[in-house]
Structure 1
Amino acid sequence: MAEAAENPEDFIEPPAAQGSHGLHETPVGPQSKKRNAFAELMAPKPKAAKHHQTKNSGGKPAKGKWSGALLEYIDHPNRFPEQVIRVTDKTVLIRDGFPKATVHLLLLPRSPAHYDLHPHEAFQDKDFLAMMRDEAASAARLAAAELERKLSGFSASSKARNEAMDKGIPFDDLPKGRDYLPEIRIGVHAHPSMDHLHVHIISRDMHSDKVKHRKHYNSFNTPFFIPLDAYPLAEDDELRSTSFQNANLSKGFVCWRCGKEFGNKFAELKRHLETEFEDWKKE
């Protein structure tokens, strides 16, 4: 399948420019001063000592093709302490440098036998797919916890829980708050912009100043965004079709939350998304 041409700002920022858009930024709202285990995990790690760094360490890009920038995170995750959240022997979890929502992570497999493959091909391997689903589910729980940390202070569903926390009620005795896990989506793009396989772990809100044009929005809000659970795809699955997926990118805008149609009016959509975000975070 031919890949759609992408702008370097479409999905992830190269290592050189990162550092100010990650999950460790100061959260908004009444919960902003609180810390917890998830916040500690999401926070940027201390920078590596100089004798461990190389010319391309500390967030500086490797030379070469921009679309191959993800390999640096896979091979040398220790060089990017501000972007990398978690490293296992199987995957690396990083912050997307151009986040398209309140929480936006990328899960990168470390297997050379798979990471150069298109998702349609890589996920034909059922063992590999099962591993990635497990790792993605774990990453989604982290993303949901981060979304809760950032937004629960606004949520009517979490009011009683937040008040109990403020009173020092033991964690196991806290009332239930809003469940943020259903707000996290896991999937891939039909035509990935980067050379190396990556799975998006993203909150559904699309609230970001990095959503700048049609492709940014439609790539996550049409069938161009393929849920990981949809794999493996049948050979005749429409999701494999280049013409079908290119048509998805050029569709008129539809609000992710209420379904209102905006045609080609991107500026009007963006204003509407602000209103929807304010209502959504208060649920």
Structure 2
Amino acid sequence: MAPKPKTIISPPKPPSSRPHLFKNRMGLGAYIAAPESYPASVVIYYNADFVVIHDKFPKATVHTLLLPRSPKHTLLHPFEALQDVEFLEKVKEEVGKLKVLVAAELQRRLGSFSRSDAAREAVLNGDAEPEEGQAKTAAEGQEKNDKGKEPQLPPGRDWMADLMCGVHAVPSMGNLHIHVLSRDMHSPAMKHRKHYNSFNTPFLVDVADFPLGEADPRRIPKDEGYMRRDLVCWRCGKNFGNRFKELKDHLDKEFEEWKRE
């Protein structure tokens, strides 16, 4: 992933009435308050309005969290915070930037396995020459840019289509956070049914769906019973009922096929 900027941005000082940043559900507040104190392996980047971190317990190959730094919104329920149209637009813009980074990281990790990326990987590895109009190296790309031409690698897999993005209807942490992660659900940290269904039912609400209508059923997740739904493979649609161990074994196989698409 891209390294965090060297420019240090002074973190906002939390109000004295705010709960201790490092306790219980308020753990994300530490990253919001002082992102510069964490290494790039934890904090991916930050600016005056947002901090982006790697999820401490990732549920997929790449799993990031976007943390808004706005004191007005950080302790609100996401459904309430994202009703603010001006704030929502800022979040959507930052989510768009983060999705580009996550897709690039997913491609970096898995591109060598993907049939769709085979031609691109061959050029990157020096095993094939770029076609006309394509740049083989960064130097060549800069040279072509200087000549007004657009450098390109062979078209490959649309890794952006393999991403999910959203907020949970019942957040597990007190500070507002938006999940941006790969679709695969392949991780040792995905340990039980609740983990899986929280990302594979309408319990995860896409940021693009906001602002939500007043009658949107996702506003009352308990009534909808998302966590009690059958476990259904995100890729092939096979229903595993409540048999999480079988689903987990199945997802390992699906991951091997998915990364080779």
Instruction: Compute the TM-score of the two structures, normalised by the length of structure 2.
Output: 0.83
In the alignment, is residue 85 of structure 1 matched against residue 85 of structure 2?
Answer: no
Q: Which residue of 2 aligns with 1:260?
A: 238
Q: Alpha-carbon deviation of 1:159? A: 0.6
C-alpha RMSD of matched pairs (Å): 1.9
- Residue by residue over 1:2-28, the C-alpha shift from the partner in whole angstroms, topping out at 9 and shown as x without a partner, is xxxxxxxxxxxxxxxxxxxxxxxxxxx
Q: Which residue of 1 aligns with 2:93?
A: 134
Q: 1:64 to 1:150 in 2, by over 3 A?
A: closer
- Residue by residue over 1:230-274, the C-alpha shift from the partner in whole angstroms, topping out at 9 and shown as x without a partner, is 1111112101014235x1111110000011000011111011101
Stretch deviating more after TM superposition (161-170 or 109-118): 161-170
In the alignment, is residue 241 of structure 1 matched against residue 200 of structure 2?
Answer: no
Q: Which residue of 2 aligns with 1:15?
A: none
Q: Which residue of 2 aligns with 1:24?
A: none
Q: How many positions carry a matched residue from both structures? A: 228
Match for residue 184 of structure 2 among 198, 205, 226: 205
Match for residue 202 of structure 2 among 223, 235, 242: 223
Q: Alpha-carbon deviation of 1:116? A: 0.7
In structure 1, distance between residues paired with 2:109 and 2:87: 33
SS of corresponding position for 2:72: helix
In the alignment, is residue 232 of structure 1 matched against residue 190 of structure 2?
Answer: no
Q: Alpha-carbon deviation of 1:65? A: 2.6
Q: Alpha-carbon deviation of 1:45? A: 9.2
Q: Alpha-carbon deviation of 1:129? A: 0.3
| 1:1-283 equivalences in 2 (<5 Å) | 39=1, 41=2, 65-81=23-39, 82-167=41-126, 169-170=136-137, 172-245=151-224, 247-283=225-261
SS of corresponding position for 1:117: coil
8 A contact 2:57–2:189 mirrored in 1: yes
In structure 2, distance between residues paired with 1:208 and 1:192: 20
Q: Greater Rg, structure 1 or structure 2?
A: 2
In structure 1, distance between residues paired with 2:22 and 2:204: 28
Q: 1:239 to 1:210 in 2, by over 3 A?
A: same
The one-letter code of the counterpart of 1:236 is A
SS of corresponding position for 1:201: strand
- Residue by residue over 1:38-88, the C-alpha shift from the partner in whole angstroms, topping out at 9 and shown as x without a partner, is x4x25x899x9xxxxxxxxxxxxx775321011110011112123101111
Instruction: Compute the TM-score of the two structures, normalised by the length of structure 1.
Output: 0.77
SS of corresponding position for 1:138: helix
Name segments (4+ residues, structure 1) moved above 4 Å.
none
Residue identity over aligned pairs, in percent, reads: 48
The one-letter code of the counterpart of 2:240 is F
In structure 1, distance between residues paired with 2:222 and 2:252: 32
8 A contact 2:21–2:29 mirrored in 1: no
In structure 2, distance between residues paired with 1:261 and 1:173: 42
- Residue by residue over 1:149-203, the C-alpha shift from the partner in whole angstroms, topping out at 9 and shown as x without a partner, is 0000000011111111122723524211111011111100000010000000010
Instruction: List gaps (5 residues or longer) in structure 1.
Output: 1-38, 49-61
Instruction: List gaps (5 residues or longer) in structure 2.
Output: 9-19, 130-135, 142-150
Q: Which residue of 2 aligns with 1:10?
A: none
